[in-house]
């Protein structure tokens, strides 16, 4: 079937600030999650299962997952790949409680193309001072409505961790970080390979807020197993 460009939907804000185009490895893990409400990012857990932020799919309709077109074309807009047929929010997530785990897992109607592969979820804890790689889809220029929506990545540092949450800040003098449109974007540790350790869910005063996945590893694993059995 001929690919078509993913429906252009409104963003909350531009994408990762101070970021570079994502490399091919990060492209293989990361997708767009779009609805009538707007657009977020997500990370591949299985060929037909995606992890994203729960607030991105709250009361959302006609959810669709998209991603890069393949062939190394990093600067082109993503394509529509599959509708979402089932959404599982974390059982402790509460929209009115900013401290609840802002996580949701999506089951796709059809598998993603082979150019996408599942990320390895790393259950280890995180510590202040660690450098991590964050990725998310966003406009390539904040004030240009015609700018392409592309996947970007940036190096961020753990400022502090508390009760399953991680605060990420820029490394060096350049101001870098996420924006609300990057919610659901993966945060990777890199020690010879990428491993998924957190998920971006918000930004405030130049600091990126992420859910550390260590405390939710069992829920993620069990949900993947249940959705894979359906």
Helix spans in 145-212 (H):
none
Say whether pTM exceeds 0.85: yes
- Domain residue spans in the chain? 25-118+217-229, 131-214
Instruction: Kindly list the distances between the CA atom of residue 70 and the CA atoms of 75, 143, 221, in Å, as whole numbers in the listed order.
Output: 11, 27, 28
* Beta strand segments in 99-185, E: 104-108, 131-139, 149-162, 165-170
Give the pLDDT score at 180.
52
Q: Can you read off the two tokens belonging to residue 41?
A: 């990012």
Alpha carbons 108 and 85: distance in angstroms, whole number: 6
* Section 139-149 average pLDDT: 55
At 92, the pLDDT band (50, 70, 90 cuts) reads very high
Can you name the CATH fold of 25-118+217-229? Thrombin, subunit H (2.40.10)
The enclosing H or E element of 53 equals none
- Residue 174: alpha-carbon gap to chain centroid: 22
State the average pLDDT over residues 154-161.
93
* 71 has pLDDT over 50: yes
pLDDT given at position 224: 98
Domains 25-118+217-229 and 131-214 share a fold: yes
Average pLDDT of the chain is 84
Give the residue-averaged pLDDT of 8-25: 55
Measured CA to CA, the distance from residue 191 to residue 107 in angstroms comes to 29
CATH number of the structural domain 131-214: 2.40.10.10
3-class SS of residue 198: strand
d(CA 226, CA 221): 9
pLDDT for res 15: 46
* Choice among 45-54, 135-144, 151-160 with the minimum mean pLDDT: 135-144
The residue ranking higher by pLDDT, 24 or 14, is: 24
């Amino acid at each position: 079937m001929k690919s078509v460009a993913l429906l252009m939907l409104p963003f909350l804000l531009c994408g990762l600030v101070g970021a570079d185009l994502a490399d091919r490895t990060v492209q293989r893990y990361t997708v767009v999650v779009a609805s009538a409400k707007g657009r977020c990012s997500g990370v591949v857990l299985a060929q037909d299962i995606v992890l994203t932020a729960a607030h991105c799919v709250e009361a959302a309709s006609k959810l669709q997952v998209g991603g890069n077109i393949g062939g190394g074309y990093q600067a082109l807009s993503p394509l529509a790949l599959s509708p979402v047929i089932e959404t599982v929010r974390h059982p402790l997530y509460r929209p009115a409680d900013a401290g609840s785990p802002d996580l949701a897992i999506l089951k796709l109607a059809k598998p993603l193309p082979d150019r996408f592969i599942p990320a390895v979820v790393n259950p280890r804890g995180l510590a202040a001072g660690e450098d991590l790689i964050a990725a998310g889809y966003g406009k390539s220029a904040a004030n240009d409505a015609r700018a392409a929506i592309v996947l970007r990545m940036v190096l961020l540092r753990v400022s502090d961790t508390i009760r399953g949450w991680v605060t990420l800040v820029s490394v060096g003098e350049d101001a870098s970080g996420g924006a609300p449109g990057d919610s659901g974007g993966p945060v990777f540790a890199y020690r010879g390979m990428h491993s998924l350790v957190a998920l971006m869910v918000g930004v405030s005063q130049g600091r990126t807020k992420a859910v550390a996945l260590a405390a939710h590893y069992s829920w993620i694993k069990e949900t993947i197993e249940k959705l894979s059995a359906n």
